[in-house]
Structure 1
Amino acid sequence: MCGITGWISFGEEPGHRPHLIDRMTAALAPRGPDGSGLWIGPHAALGHRRLAVLDIEGGAQPMTARPGGPPRTARTPTPTSHPNSDPTDIVLSYSGEVYNHHELREELQAAGHDFATRSDTEVVLRGYQEWGAGIAERLVGMYAFAVWDAGARRLLLVRDRMGVKPLYYARTPDGGLVFGSEPKALFAHPDCAPRVDAQGLREAYGLVFGTGATLWAGVREVPPGGLVVFDRDGLTERLYWQLTARPHEDGDLATTTAEIRRRLEHAVRSQLEADVPRCSLLSGGLDSTVVTALLADELRLREGPAARLRSYAVDYSDQAERFTGDVLRTGHDAPYAVEAGAFIGTEHRTVVLDPQSLLDPGHRAAVVAARDSPIGVGDMDTSLYLLFGRIKEHSTVALSGEAADEVFGGYPWFHDPAALAAPTFPWLRVTSDQAAMPLHPDLAGELRIGEFQRDTYRTALAAVPRLDGESAAQRRQREMQHLSLTRWLRQLLHRKDRLSMAQGLEVRVPYCDHRLVEYAFNTPWELHGHDGREKSLLRAAGAGLAPRSVLWRAKNHYPATHHPDYNRGLQRLAHEALDGADGRVRDLVDARVVTSVLKTAPEQLEWGHRLRLERVVDLALWLDRYRPEITV
């Protein structure tokens, strides 16, 4: 999976300060615990941290090639020379997985390219040699990569279509550019300081989940399906892919269901490949159970009927006794996960967490550091981080059911008339900016987040593609799908990437296969809801893959603990954060609102109010770690 970073300068030579690219690369060490590499040449320095998944011996990076020559792994140069660089070098620092690399390898070999490794990395490198920036449109998978073309003195940054893998960049004062898988890599360079302005706070606390502008002033995110070209003439950014509206050709339900099943099977099959142990995340819901079943079947086909897939679920020590339903959670997951694992035949394990581990300051600080942001979901983030740590003890690759709700209409807002009629992002009816953080009245007046949300919503709707002949109801459902796929999903993918990679675990997401997404996006909504339930098409396509209790189970959100000891400890941490020595938290939050929540009995603390305390605690940890300059 890996972490990538780099520094391009047409003024100062990066080779004169090689410790900087070394420091930037080291900032991404958790993403790549299996090795690191640097390439430094005229005008450019690239770094790489490797999580070895394919071709353990041959896939080291940065990978470098010259026209007609074999690929080479870069060596670290001395500060005064460029022993591994050449005026014609093409240098690749790559993160992710390309699932169609075998097909592309055959095409490139037919075009005359020789290969020295089995890695998908070399396929991307050779693909750039053959097609230039056009390589992006040929890839299927999750990836973020940088190509420095020394001959052309040009940098290419590319991100996968759905935005599964992250990629950030910022301009430097001398006209150069730094980039990395996470903002922390950029901040390791002295010309990119952690600064936050009013727009950044709006992006963070407005919960509109855009791409481009970030929390950090001057730091931009390469958009999903986007590429950036940077050279002496400047910087250009464009999309090579985006969702489009087109007629659905498979008119009947049976044909559509079969096509959904075929595309999903293909996505799972292509994502099984790895030279390291694999497993699945099995929550006991429809989405993860279907993926796990397909994965287990494919594993048995490849390795024999005795092959058993490991599966994992998370639970809390109090959940069986204290579970309390809310707008997002309808039942206790663990028993369904156990039942699904037995039905499929997995080696299932439930990771049970207690309030103390969730409250541990070290765990919470690690989560905030992984996110580079104060905006999270508290114990649900910490528990996911700890779950990934336990999984990493046995596996390096996990497959997840993430994105099925966005692709197949699983959320309440697809089916609630009030949500469909609301002139705002549908998730704001569940988690408003006030729940996200009660901002200091002076700051709230300056930010005008409500106005920002309304303006952004209008812009988001304008980006939704239209299809001639759609009814108003059909158009509204397409809007809901587009908002969910291009905005809401992005923060879920960020969460899964950051917390998994902080533990050196690669998580793959078959529902994000863009060919499946395109097909489902253009399937008429009447077919999506043909049985009057959420995710009707997925349920039909998954028939026979899950026990009936799971197949017909209602949508359930990721679990949260209900233990009063956790609530009590959270109130203590929030009180300490609010009264911190430097007073910076009080400058940003409405202390009166927070104090009222602190006075609530732990047993009566509602989830929405508790989220406010979670964000106060995380804000204090974030301020302490990054010491950002905040200008409003």
Structure 2
Amino acid sequence: MCGIVGIISFDQDLSLRTDLVDAMRPALSHRGPDAVDQWVSPRALLVPRRLAVVDLAGGRQPAIATDDAGRDVVVLSYTGEVFNFAEIRAELVTRGHRFRDRSDTEVVLRAYQEWGADCARRFRGMFAFAVWDVRREELLLIRDRFGIYPLYYARTSRGFAFASEPKALFTTGVVEPVVDRAGLLEALSFTPTPGCSVFKDIREVIPGEVVRFDHNGVHRSRYWTFTAREHEDDLATTERTVSDILREVIRQQLVSDVPVTAMLSGGLDSSAVCALATAHRAGAGGPLQTFSMDYSYHLDSFRPDEVHDSPDSPYVEKMSAHLGTDHHELLLDWNHLADPEAQAAVVRAMDRPIAGLDMYVSLLQLSAEVRRRSHVVLTGDGSDELFGGYMWFHDPFYVRAQQFPWLGVSHRMEFLTGLLDRSLHTELAFADYARDRYHEAVAETPLTGKETPRERRMREITYLNMTRYLRVILDRKDRLGMAVSIEGRVPFCDHVLAEYVYNVPWSMKVADGREKSLLRAAVRGLVPDAVLDRKKSPFPTAQDPRYRTALREQLRRITEDGGSAVAGLFDQQRVKSVLTDPSYGLRAGVTRMSIEAAVQLHHWTASGVRLELT
């Protein structure tokens, strides 16, 4: 895991801009604490940072290819892991390439020399990288198929810049931290739009995309997207195939020169990953280290709700005992979640407000706990989107709704916009924005043309989750982990697995009448029945009423003290309902997420973000 930032200019001499180098070097220190370097020329300035995971002594960046005269011809700034790099390296050796080290970084460099931008089609892994072709004066930005690693860019009259995170782009001087109305819509709608960022003039490289910049401007193309095809395997063969692919994925993703650990929530997804990892590691290097988080309040006072049937801790204990892992549990209280410094740290890490602040704060704390022992961790992210784990795959109300299904969970209440001034809310037309983004996404869905109406709808919902909702999950994993220099690996986002499962008929995915029954069958015998048969339970949210009380007090300070740049954005009647109504504004249509959003908007602007909404 690393971080990259760079700038390209055809109308100034960047080799003279030592000020830019000095500004860019510390911008992504959290993504690469082990090393930092730069490559400077009149046209290009690249500053990569490294978190060393594979080939600790080698793998230096930027990786540079030279011609016979020793002149630099290709310069690579790379983040990520190509898990099949050994196989690609062996092929490249047969084609005459010579290697200086045993890192995947150099494999990516030589693969570009051999195949150009098409090299990405051969990679199995998670990556985002920039290639500066010196002779062509051309920059390529390439991102993995699901966007596991972030990559942003900006082109303005001041030049072209790219970076792993927006905050690093701001150090280049090409773009400023400005959010206009379009950005606020994107930030608060909970409808992630591929390619869009929340900042004015900044775009995100779409997963599976190649972005080229040269003297003729910016050119974009896709090297991968889902493809629909008829599934020919029977159920038994399908279950075996999924099991075989998962075993191979775990084998590949355990390759590391530093210890690999795992998250263990007591749910099916993380338990499957831990079970497969334990089986593969048998007898190697001691027990697998695992990590979980829970709230102290839940130990004695947990209450089942619409999506959480049971607390995680008992199932974590069962799974850890079954596998013999070296387990570490982090217990948090309401005051950890309401800590303004922790909240601000989340907003800085994400570069934006998000839905579910308590979850993000707790995950940031958990990531810090993991970092004390390791900086590579396996997670179960991506399984629910691929195998159909969320409630909105199964409840007819959400399946029928002509909107992003996760928005239906709000029961027509606003997730993040409940406290916004009503005139601003009307002008921005959040509902219209969400509807338009939904129809765009549905229209993209790959279909064979032979689906029944039911099968077509379930393919649409799967596609919405894999291309939109998964963005939220992967961004959360990446930013909160990298805020404390942790590389998160996501086996369920292996593209070979995803391509196969995407085309499995829905009837096979729920063969036993439950969510993710295909995955259950694939790992049966590895996971205890109590965990295997547990109903899907999402990441826990804080039930302690003292957390909501603390949020109310934060809102009071933001709106009454006069020191917040966002106080004028809120509807005063709705604010009053939160501050005085025992329901904390629920009667007025204000959810806890809306209060958290107001708190985050305050932290966001306090960090230097400028709102331009007129």
Return the TM-score normalized by structure 2: 0.97
1:121 aligns with 2:118: no
Q: Is the 8 A contact 1:399 1:507 kept in 2?
A: yes
Distance, in Å, in 2 between the alignment partners of 1:293 and 1:511 is 14
CA, structure 1 residues 616+479, in 2 after alignment: closer, same or farther (shift >3 Å)?
same
SS at match of 2:492: helix
Q: Is the 8 A contact 1:344 1:545 kept in 2?
A: no
CA, structure 1 residues 215+342, in 2 after alignment: closer, same or farther (shift >3 Å)?
same
Tell me which of 176, 181, 186 is aligned to 1:198. 181
Distance, in Å, in 1 between the alignment partners of 2:362 and 2:2 is 23
Distance, in Å, in 2 between the alignment partners of 1:68 and 1:466 is 50
Q: Match of 1:366, as an amino acid?
A: A
Partner of 1:34: 34
Distance, in Å, in 1 between the alignment partners of 2:178 and 2:62 is 30
1:222 aligns with 2:205: yes
Q: Match of 2:593, as an amino acid?
A: L
Q: Match of 1:533, as an amino acid?
A: R
Following superposition, the deviation at residue 567 of structure 1 comes to 2.2
Q: Match of 2:118, as an amino acid?
A: G
Q: Is the 8 A contact 1:162 1:225 kept in 2?
A: yes
**Which runs of structure 2 are paired with 1:67-466 in the superposition (5 Å)?**
67=67, 86=71, 88-174=72-158, 176-250=159-233, 252-300=234-282, 303=284, 307-431=286-410, 434-438=414-418, 439-466=420-447
SS at match of 1:143: strand
Q: Is the 8 A contact 2:190 2:355 kept in 1?
A: no
Q: Match of 1:274, as an amino acid?
A: S
Partner of 1:612: 594
Q: Is the 8 A contact 1:358 1:379 kept in 2?
A: yes
Superposed CA offset, 1:44-80 (max 9, x none): 000111111011111121111113599xxxxxxxxxx
CA, structure 1 residues 242+407, in 2 after alignment: closer, same or farther (shift >3 Å)?
same
Greater shift, 557-566 or 281-290, is seen at: 557-566
> Alignment RMSD, CA only?
1.8
> What is the aligned residue count?
611
SS at match of 2:308: coil
Partner of 2:508: 527
SS at match of 2:87: helix
1:52 aligns with 2:52: yes
Following superposition, the deviation at residue 592 of structure 1 comes to 2.2
Tell me which of 580, 596, 601 is aligned to 2:577. 596
Distance, in Å, in 2 between the alignment partners of 1:266 and 1:185 is 36
Q: Is the 8 A contact 1:282 1:313 kept in 2?
A: yes
Distance, in Å, in 2 between the alignment partners of 1:433 and 1:136 is 42
Following superposition, the deviation at residue 20 of structure 1 comes to 1.2
Distance, in Å, in 2 between the alignment partners of 1:59 and 1:191 is 29
Q: Is the 8 A contact 1:205 1:433 kept in 2?
A: no
SS at match of 1:163: coil
Superposed CA offset, 1:74-107 (max 9, x none): xxxxxxxxxxxx4x42111111100000000001
Q: Which runs of 5+ in 1 are unaligned?
A: 71-85
Following superposition, the deviation at residue 328 of structure 1 comes to 2.7
Superposed CA offset, 1:97-133 (max 9, x none): 0000000000110100111111100000111111111
Q: Is the 8 A contact 2:231 2:504 kept in 1?
A: yes
Q: Is the 8 A contact 1:97 1:143 kept in 2?
A: yes
Q: Is the 8 A contact 1:30 1:503 kept in 2?
A: yes
Q: Is the 8 A contact 1:282 1:312 kept in 2?
A: yes
CA, structure 1 residues 125+107, in 2 after alignment: closer, same or farther (shift >3 Å)?
same
Distance, in Å, in 1 between the alignment partners of 2:29 and 2:254 is 25
Q: Is the 8 A contact 1:283 1:313 kept in 2?
A: yes
Distance, in Å, in 2 between the alignment partners of 1:289 and 1:602 is 37
Q: Match of 1:538, as an amino acid?
A: L
Distance, in Å, in 1 between the alignment partners of 2:550 and 2:586 is 12
Distance, in Å, in 2 between the alignment partners of 1:44 and 1:376 is 37
Following superposition, the deviation at residue 375 of structure 1 comes to 2.3
Following superposition, the deviation at residue 588 of structure 1 comes to 2.2
SS at match of 2:195: coil
Distance, in Å, in 2 between the alignment partners of 1:158 and 1:255 is 35
SS at match of 1:238: strand
SS at match of 1:461: helix
Q: Is the 8 A contact 2:294 2:540 kept in 1?
A: yes
Q: Match of 2:6, as an amino acid?
A: G
Following superposition, the deviation at residue 412 of structure 1 comes to 1.1
Distance, in Å, in 1 between the alignment partners of 2:601 and 2:585 is 24
Q: Match of 1:523, as an amino acid?
A: V
Superposed CA offset, 1:576-611 (max 9, x none): 222353453233232322331233448998997221
Distance, in Å, in 2 between the alignment partners of 1:627 and 1:466 is 41
Distance, in Å, in 1 between the alignment partners of 2:545 and 2:371 is 30
Distance, in Å, in 2 between the alignment partners of 1:396 and 1:583 is 37
Partner of 1:20: 20
Q: Which runs of 5+ in 2 are unaligned?
A: none
Following superposition, the deviation at residue 369 of structure 1 comes to 0.3
Q: Match of 1:154, as an amino acid?
A: E
Partner of 1:78: none
Superposed CA offset, 1:222-249 (max 9, x none): 0000110100111101110001100112
SS at match of 2:36: strand
Q: Is the 8 A contact 2:31 2:483 kept in 1?
A: yes
Distance, in Å, in 1 between the alignment partners of 2:46 and 2:600 is 32
Following superposition, the deviation at residue 344 of structure 1 comes to 1.2
Q: Match of 1:488, as an amino acid?
A: Y
CA, structure 1 residues 331+521, in 2 after alignment: closer, same or farther (shift >3 Å)?
same
Q: Is the 8 A contact 1:7 1:21 kept in 2?
A: no
CA, structure 1 residues 579+62, in 2 after alignment: closer, same or farther (shift >3 Å)?
farther
Following superposition, the deviation at residue 326 of structure 1 comes to 2.4
Q: Is the 8 A contact 2:566 2:602 kept in 1?
A: yes
Q: What percent of counterpart residues are identical? A: 45
Following superposition, the deviation at residue 418 of structure 1 comes to 1.3
Greater shift, 343-352 or 509-518, is seen at: 343-352
CA, structure 1 residues 427+554, in 2 after alignment: closer, same or farther (shift >3 Å)?
same
Distance, in Å, in 2 between the alignment partners of 1:514 and 1:172 is 34
Q: Is the 8 A contact 2:414 2:591 kept in 1?
A: no
1:538 aligns with 2:522: no
Superposed CA offset, 1:520-542 (max 9, x none): 10001110011000001000001
Q: Match of 2:452, as an amino acid?
A: S
Q: Match of 2:162, as an amino acid?
A: F
Following superposition, the deviation at residue 435 of structure 1 comes to 2.2
1:553 aligns with 2:534: yes
Distance, in Å, in 2 between the alignment partners of 1:272 and 1:602 is 48
Distance, in Å, in 2 between the alignment partners of 1:392 and 1:602 is 39
Q: Match of 1:12, as an amino acid?
A: Q
Distance, in Å, in 2 between the alignment partners of 1:428 and 1:503 is 31
Q: Is the 8 A contact 1:33 1:50 kept in 2?
A: yes
**Which runs of structure 2 are paired with 1:439-518 in the superposition (5 Å)?**
439-518=420-499
CA, structure 1 residues 603+330, in 2 after alignment: closer, same or farther (shift >3 Å)?
farther
Q: Is the 8 A contact 2:578 2:585 kept in 1?
A: no
SS at match of 1:6: strand
Q: Is the 8 A contact 1:147 1:157 kept in 2?
A: yes
